Structure 1
Amino acid sequence: MVQRCEPSPLGSATWSAPAPKRIVQFWDDLQRLPQDVEACMNSWRQLERSGFELEVFDKKSASDFIRTRLGARYEDAFNRCYHPSMMSDYFRYSYVFVEGGFYIDADDVYHGTPIDQLFVDGRLKLQPFCYDIGTSQMVDPSIFTKPGANQPGWIFYFNTTPLIASPRHPIVERALLNATESLEADSASGLPEVQATTGPGNLTRSVFEVISEGCSPDAMVVAHDWERTSTSQWPLSYRNDSRNWRLSNQQAYRAPSPSDAR
Structure 2
Amino acid sequence: MSRNQEQDSFARIFGAHLLADIPDVSSGGHVPRRLIQFWDKEPPQDVARMLSLSKAWADKHQLEYVLFSEADARAYLADRQVDGKSLLQLFDRCFHPAMKADLFRLVYLHEYGGYYLDADNGVTDDALALFGLDRDVFFIDFRQRRVQNNFMAVAPGSLLISKALSAAARNIEENASEDVGIGTLTGPYVFTVELAKLLQDGGYTCYLVDYLKNVKIAPGPEVVLGQNLDYKKSDQNWQRAQAGPIAARLRTKLTTEKPTIPDFRELCRISLKFGIELEALEDIAAANWAEWRHHSVCIELRSRVLIRLQRFDKAREILTDAYDRYIRPASLLKMLSGISMKPERLEFAETLAWQAVEKAPADPDALAQLAAVFRAGRKLGEAKAVVALARERFSQNARLRKLAEALEEADSLADEIAAMTKLLAAPETTGKARFRSIAKTCLYYGLHLEAVEQLADAWWPFWRDTPMCVWLRARILEKLGRVDDARTLLEEAYEKKLRAPNILIMLAQLALDAGEAGFADQLAGMAIAKASGRVDARVLRVKALAALGDTAGVDAVRGYLQEQHAGHPLVIELERTMGKYG
Fold conserved (TM > 0.5)?
yes
Residue 200 of structure 2 is aligned to residue 212 of structure 1: yes
Distance 1:8 1:160 in 2: 20
Q: CA deviation at 1:116?
A: 2.8
Equivalent residues in 2 for 1:52-71 (5 A)? 52-70=63-81
Residue 236 of structure 2 is aligned to residue 247 of structure 1: no
User: Contact (CA 8 Å) 2:20, 2:209: kept in 1 or not?
Assistant: no
Q: Which residue of 2 aligns with 1:137?
A: none
Letter in 2 for 1:203: F
Equivalent residues in 2 for 1:29-178 (5 A)? 29-30=41-42, 33-44=43-54, 45-70=56-81, 73-110=86-123, 112-121=124-133, 123-131=135-143, 155-178=144-167
Q: CA deviation at 1:122?
A: 5.2
Distance 2:183 2:140 in 1: 15
Q: CA deviation at 1:46?
A: 2.3
Q: Which moved more, 1:16-25 or 1:47-56?
A: 16-25
Distance 1:168 1:251 in 2: 37
User: Contact (CA 8 Å) 1:192, 1:250: kept in 2 or not?
Assistant: no
Greater helix percent: which structure?
Answer: 2
Aligned residues, how many? 220
Distance 1:186 1:70 in 2: 19
Distance 2:149 2:49 in 1: 21
Distance 1:97 1:196, change over 3 A: same
Deviation per CA, 1:11-62, whole angstroms, max 9, x where unpaired?
xxxx9742111111111102xx111011111222223122101111011111
Letter in 2 for 1:56: L
Q: Say which SS state the counterpart of residue 215 (structure 1) adopts.
A: coil
Distance 1:108 1:7, change over 3 A: closer
Distance 1:223 1:113 in 2: 18
Q: Say which SS state the counterpart of residue 127 (structure 1) adopts.
A: strand
Deviation per CA, 1:171-196, whole angstroms, max 9, x where unpaired?
01111110000001055x75532111
Distance 1:251 1:29, change over 3 A: farther
User: Contact (CA 8 Å) 2:29, 2:131: kept in 1 or not?
Assistant: no
Distance 1:220 1:66 in 2: 29
User: Contact (CA 8 Å) 2:31, 2:131: kept in 1 or not?
Assistant: yes
Distance 1:75 1:250, change over 3 A: farther
Structure 1 residue ranges without an equivalent (≥5): 132-154, 253-262
Deviation per CA, 1:183-230, whole angstroms, max 9, x where unpaired?
01055x7553211111111111111122223323x3334254431122
Distance 1:65 1:232 in 2: 28
Distance 1:171 1:53, change over 3 A: same
Distance 1:9 1:105 in 2: 25
Q: CA deviation at 1:9?
A: 8.9
Q: Which residue of 1 aligns with 2:434?
A: none
User: Contact (CA 8 Å) 1:190, 1:250: kept in 2 or not?
Assistant: no
Distance 1:130 1:6 in 2: 13
Q: Which residue of 2 aligns with 1:238?
A: 231
Q: Say which SS state the counterpart of residue 54 (structure 1) adopts.
A: strand
Q: Which residue of 1 aligns with 2:33?
A: 21
Distance 2:243 2:20 in 1: 38
Greater strand percent: which structure?
Answer: 1
Structure 2 residue ranges without an equivalent (≥5): 1-13, 223-227, 246-582
Distance 1:108 1:9 in 2: 24
TM-score (ref. length: structure 2): 0.35
- Taking only aligned residues, the RMSD between alpha carbons, in angstroms, comes to 2.6
Q: Which residue of 1 aligns with 2:190?
A: 202
Letter in 2 for 1:168: G
Q: Which moved more, 1:196-205 or 1:243-252?
A: 243-252
Q: Which moved more, 1:243-252 or 1:40-49?
A: 243-252
Distance 1:170 1:81 in 2: 24
Q: Which residue of 1 aligns with 2:168?
A: 179
Q: CA deviation at 1:238?
A: 0.6
Deviation per CA, 1:60-90, whole angstroms, max 9, x where unpaired?
1112212334466222111111101111111
Letter in 1 for 2:91: F
Higher relative contact order, chain-length normalized (CA < 8 Å, sep 6+): 1
TM-score (ref. length: structure 1): 0.75
User: Contact (CA 8 Å) 1:122, 1:165: kept in 2 or not?
Assistant: no
Distance 1:78 1:191, change over 3 A: farther
User: Contact (CA 8 Å) 1:191, 1:250: kept in 2 or not?
Assistant: no
Distance 1:231 1:116, change over 3 A: closer
Letter in 2 for 1:98: E
Distance 1:186 1:22, change over 3 A: closer
Distance 1:20 1:62, change over 3 A: same
Letter in 2 for 1:57: F
User: Contact (CA 8 Å) 2:117, 2:152: kept in 1 or not?
Assistant: yes
